[in-house]
Structure 1
């Protein structure tokens, strides 16, 4: 009996080992294809914040592997391949990552954290909220914290009030303090009154300005009283800013830093408005010939789309890969342009409009000029184009921000140097 059992056991072990090697080889093959897809889109290293595509995700979705194997493969990967694997781990195996987070991330480099911060945007729920706050830790790279701060508005901050309070205190002497303050939901965070009061003696006047802006753009009923305390501040510049905001708030519920949505009626009888909308459609399609034809037929050079956004800012949005309103999405998809092609064609279209005399300082209803928006998006190439055509960097939006203010708040030093 023993003579039969031992060979059978060895056969079973050998079969299991072969099956394990086959599974491993299959998983390696899937991950290799994922990496090849992303390398073809971004190159070997990718650089900066890489936007990963759906093809790689779909490739893995068809044959998902084990998270343990994915972590092992991540230990050998480099460049854009690391980013693709971190995204797969975050999107498909977040529970596994959560259980072993500090062990898995112990050797991560700055770019790995940037990859993770962007992959986190494809998740929702408690883990999204928890790790948004994890990424706000002052020990994280500045680029990662900047991404995380922008996510705070995507969930209810009230359950995280204590953590946010600790972060405000930890950021007291951090360059991103202003960025954090401007993204807090002050209505949902009643304790924020105390946090801000603790900053009243802060040496940086820009911090006080941003505190007042945070109050003035919130839904808080006591915003005027809170800003009034700065009317007696020791810094003359802070006092003047408080006086300016107090005057602007007179008769208003709050100031706004966002573009107000304004519906423009489009008639179908071939009149000027209809021509303008034809021009706007050509702008979304980045079709220079169609744009020129619409202008030749009487369309206005400074036309706006149905949400009130000027054509020049639409091109900036396309150049910066911002979200497109649903009604115009089919026009953008129909182009089928690659990322760099879209950026280059949007910039060429903007040069075309500016060369014809488009208003370089045209603003949204809340006062954001193309230069302000370029500074907010960090689009230095577009900002340079606007400045070369006479854009005024001193213009303020309705909340009192200049392009330089928003660049400084977002800690974009290259943009700050350009706008000074």
Structure 2
């Protein structure tokens, strides 16, 4: 009985020690995970996930690892996270941005394809991936716009303040993106909550050529309108 009691006491002590060390282990894994994402260290990420670390953990600012990888251009980290079936492709940050939105604004076409393949929401409420793709100006962004539209992105999606992707393209995007949206049927007559049209967005930043393209699209729809 004495031996049994001694063994039991030792087991209890060991359990208590392990319980005390567990929070430290979790804290170490937490720091290691986000450091690995920043450093594009796929091997460490894979090792942590194999040990049971949750890939959907948020950093102190409410950012999931997938979004941080996209923000930092950590492509290997992004691939490592996407390889896990536990990773949520639609997990949003504290600003309600999705990984697909970040991939779209970064012009990361391959990431956009991978996220869409994992059922990322092309038409999330509020600001959408199409808004984000339309707000930048590289040829890759036009490819992403075309891909999102191919996957049934709503071309006239309105943000919380009524802004459409066409308005974003008129103010921030490229002429190519603007023309693509017009060609695909974006409505140039819509107004946001301030009463501004896509043409107004263009004129506010001195983009007269963009405003003319929008005016031409309006004239096609309504022959007596669209003259500035």
Normalised by the size of structure 2, how large is the TM-score? 0.48
Greater per-residue helix proportion: 1
User: So what's the TM-score if we normalise by structure 1?
Assistant: 0.30
Larger radius of gyration: 1
User: Which fold has the larger relative contact order, with Cα–Cα distance below 8 Å and residues 6 or more apart in sequence?
Assistant: 2
